């Protein structure tokens, strides 16, 4: 009887570890490459920029396009479901760094915070097109 309990315990443990490992592998397989539409709300106003991302491993590169901040290239990272990217903007002769940080909800959605060079901040949601 003791041997049967030990055997069953090992099966349960193996099953739990297998599910956890599969979840971790699925999270690692998320590729953010593509065109994203952001919904941004900040203390300086709202906008719907378009962001085109290219992911290679943990590295992100891409293009940011909005009516308020213009067009620029971006760089960032994605790791363990957390995303961050930055890009420079010039505002009245001063260059500011815009930083987006957030989490990937699903392979087609993310949400988080945006900081516009310490001058304004807010939140965002994004969906892949």
24 or 50, greater pLDDT: 50
Residue in 119, 80, 85, 116 with CA at minimum distance from that of residue 101: 85
Distance (Å, rounded) from C-alpha 93 to C-alpha 4?
A: 75
Question: C-alpha 65: how far from its chain's center?
Answer: 17
With contact defined as beta carbons under 8 Å apart, do 93 and 74 qualify? no
In eight-state DSSP terms, residue 108 is T
With contact defined as beta carbons under 8 Å apart, do 105 and 30 qualify? no
Q: How many domains does the chain have?
A: 2
The pLDDT of residue 30 is 86
Distance (Å, rounded) from C-alpha 129 to C-alpha 111?
A: 15
My answer on whether 17 and 37 are in the same domain is no
Which tens digit of pLDDT belongs to each residue from 59-73? 999 999 999 899 999
Tell me the whole-structure pTM to 2 decimals. 0.78
Residue 92 has pLDDT above 90, yes or no: no
Which tens digit of pLDDT belongs to each residue from 95-128? 999 999 999 999 999 999 999 999 999 999 999 9
My answer on whether 68 and 101 are in the same domain is yes
My answer on whether 22 and 56 are in the same domain is no
């Amino acid at each position: 009887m003791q041997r049967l309990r030990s055997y069953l315990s090992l099966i349960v443990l193996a099953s739990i570890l297998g599910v956890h490992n599969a979840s971790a592998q699925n999270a690692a397989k998320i590729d953010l490459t593509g065109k994203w539409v952001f919904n941004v709300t900040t203390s300086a106003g709202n906008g719907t920029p378009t962001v085109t991302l290219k992911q290679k491993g943990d590295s992100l590169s891409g293009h940011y396009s909005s009516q308020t901040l213009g067009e620029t290239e971006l760089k960032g990272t994605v790791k363990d479901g957390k995303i961050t990217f930055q890009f420079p903007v010039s505002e009245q002769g001063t260059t500011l760094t815009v930083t987006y940080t957030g989490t990937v909800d699903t392979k087609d959605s993310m949400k988080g915070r945006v900081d516009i060079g310490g001058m304004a901040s807010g939140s965002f949601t994004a969906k892949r097109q």
